[in-house]
A and B are shown apart, each in its own frame.
Chain A
Amino acid sequence: MIIYKEWLKTRWVLLGILLVLGAITFYCFLNLSKVVEIRGAELLWEALVGKDTVLTEILRYLPVAAGVLLSAAQFVPEVAQKRLKLTLHLPYPQGRMLLDLVLYGLGVLSVLFLLQAVVAGAILSRWVVWELVARILRTMAVWYLAGWAAYLFTAAICLEPTWKMRALEALVAAGLFVLLFKSPIPEAYNGFFPFLLVYVLLSVSLLYYGVARFKEGKQD
C-alpha cells in the first residue's frame, strides 16, 4: 500500500522523467547514428580510443536531474504541512516505512537507468566492439550513482526539520557532486567506485537522522 501512495504522488513526474530521458537519449543516439552514416563508424572508434570521451556526454547530468525530481515529488508532499506526522502515525514500523519509501524511489530510478544503459549498450554494440561499450557503461555508472545520491540527499534535506541542518547537508551534497563530476576522463572512477557506492548507500542514514530529529520536535 505504501507503493500505492508513492505511485499516486509520483506518477506524473515519472512520466515526465521518462519522456525527457527518452527524448534526450534518442537525440544522443540519433546524432551518433548520423555521424556513422555520413562519416563512418571509424570516427567513433577513434574518439573512444584516442580522446577522453564516451560519446554520450549529453546524458551526463540526466540521472541527477531525475533523482532530484523524483525525490522532491515523493518527499515534498510528505513534509508539507508536516504530513510526515500522518505517515509516521500509520500502524506500520516507522523504520520499515522509510525504507519502503526509499526502496521505491531508488528502485524506480534504477529501472530507468537500467533501461537507458541497456538501450545504449545495444545501440553502441552495433558500431563498436564490446570492450569499448563496457568502457562507456563503466563511465556512465558514476552518473547513475550521482542520480542515486541526488535522490537520497534531496530526500534527506526534505526530511530534516531545520534549515541550518538542511544547509549543512546541502553543502555535503555539493561536495559529493563536485567529486562525482570532477573528472571527465573515461573510467577514472573505476577503482574508487565501490567506496563511492558504499558512501552513497550509507547516506540513507541521513533520512533516518532527519526523521528522528523531526520526532524530537527540532526546530530552527
Chain B
Amino acid sequence: MGPIITCEHLTHWYGKRKIYEDLNFEVAPGRIVGLLGKNGTGKTTTINILMGYLKPRSGSCRIFDEPVQSVSPLTRQRIALLLEGHVQYSYMTIEQVERFYSAFYPKWNRDAYYGLMKKLKVAPGQKISRMSNGQRSQVALGLILAQNADLLVLDDFSLGLDPGYRRLFCEYLRDYAKAEGKTVFLTSHIIQDLEKLVDEVIIMDYGSILVQEDAASLMARYPGMTLEDIFIELTGKY
C-alpha cells in the first residue's frame, strides 16, 4: 500500500500573509505523524486542506490516493476526524450521537465507545452541550475510536484535557494505533505529550517547515533534550 496521505507543493496565503510555501510530506500506513508548531503556523490550515475544507493557493493533496477535494463517501468511512475544539453535535445526548454515527460506519465498535463513556459518569439524557470541557472532549474521542477507521486525523486533540488525562490518552492512542495498524495524523501545540506518541514529526514555523524527520532519529541528534526542548530550540523564543 502506498502512502495514506500525500501532499505536494502545498502553498497557501491568507491575504498577504504567507502560511507556507512548497510544503511536501507523506504519511505512510501504520505511522503516527505529528504536525507541531506554534499557533498560527498553519497546522489547522493543513488539516482543513486535507479534509477538503480549504482550497490551497497551489499544490495538491491526496488521501487514500483520492484528491482531497473529492474524496468518495466510501473512503470517508475509513477516516476518523477530530476537529479543533472537539466540535461535535452538542445538541445531542451521548446515546443519540452514538445512534446517529453508528448508522454511517459499518465497522462501528459500540463497546469501545461505551467503555469510554462509562468513565464519564454523566446522566443518560444529558446533552453534550451541558457537559464540562473535559467530558465533551472524551465524547469526541470516544466517537473517533468507535469508528474503527484506518486513518485518524486529529486537530489539536489535547485541547481542554487535563494533563493527567492527556498522557493517558496518548498512551491509549498509541497502543490502539499500533495494535490495530491504524495510521494517525495529528497536530498539537503541546509538545510534551507527543514525545512517546509519534513516530515522525513535522515541525513548522511561520512560513516554512523546520524539520521533517523520524522522531527517534531527531531525538538522537539532540541527546539529553526532550522533544519540547528541541522544539523550543528550533523555533526560537517560545
Chains A and B touch (C-beta atoms under 8 A apart): yes
* 8 tightest Cβ-Cβ pairs between the two chains A and B: A217-B54, A91-B77, A1-B103, A91-B76, A216-B55, A91-B73, A81-B87, A89-B81
| Residues in chain B near residue A215, CB distance under 8 A | 52-55, 69
A178 CB to nearest chain B CB (Å): 35
Q: How far is the CA of A144 from the CA of B75 in the complex (A)?
A: 41
From A77, A86, A90, B91 is in contact (CB under 8 Å) with A77
| Residues in chain B near residue A217, CB distance under 8 A | 48, 53-55
Per-residue contact bits, chain B 55-76, to A (CB 8 Å; 1 contact, 0 not): 1000000000000010001111
| Residues in chain B near residue A91, CB distance under 8 A | 73-77, 104-105
| Residues in chain A near residue B73, CB distance under 8 A | 90-93
Q: How many residues of B contact A (CB 8 A)?
A: 27
Given A81-B85, A86-B89, A91-B77, A5–B100 Cβ distance below 8 Å?
yes
| Residue B51 is within 8 A (CB to CB) of chain A in the complex | yes
| Residues in chain B near residue A214, CB distance under 8 A | 53
Question: Which residue numbers of B lie inside 8 Å of A, CB to CB?
Answer: 48, 51-55, 69, 73-77, 79, 81, 83, 85, 87-89, 91-92, 96, 99-100, 103-105
Q: How far is the CA of A217 from the CA of B69 in the complex (A)?
A: 11
CB-nearest residue of chain A to B77: A91
| Residue A118 is within 8 A (CB to CB) of chain B in the complex | no
Kindly state the interface size class of chain A when it binds its partner: 20 to 34
| Residue A4 is within 8 A (CB to CB) of chain B in the complex | yes
Question: Which residue numbers of A lie inside 8 Å of B, CB to CB?
Answer: 1, 4-5, 8-9, 77, 81-83, 85-86, 88-93, 214-217
Q: How far is the CA of A82 from the CA of B77 in the complex (A)?
A: 20
Q: How far is the CA of A86 from the CA of B52 in the complex (A)?
A: 12
Q: How far is the CA of A77 from the CA of B160 in the complex (A)?
A: 21
A102 CB to nearest chain B CB (Å): 18
A214 CB to nearest chain B CB (Å): 7
CB-nearest residue of chain B to A77: B91
A158 CB to nearest chain B CB (Å): 15
Residue contact A89 to B100, C-beta cutoff 8 Å:
no
From B69, B83, B92, B104, A82 is in contact (CB under 8 Å) with B83
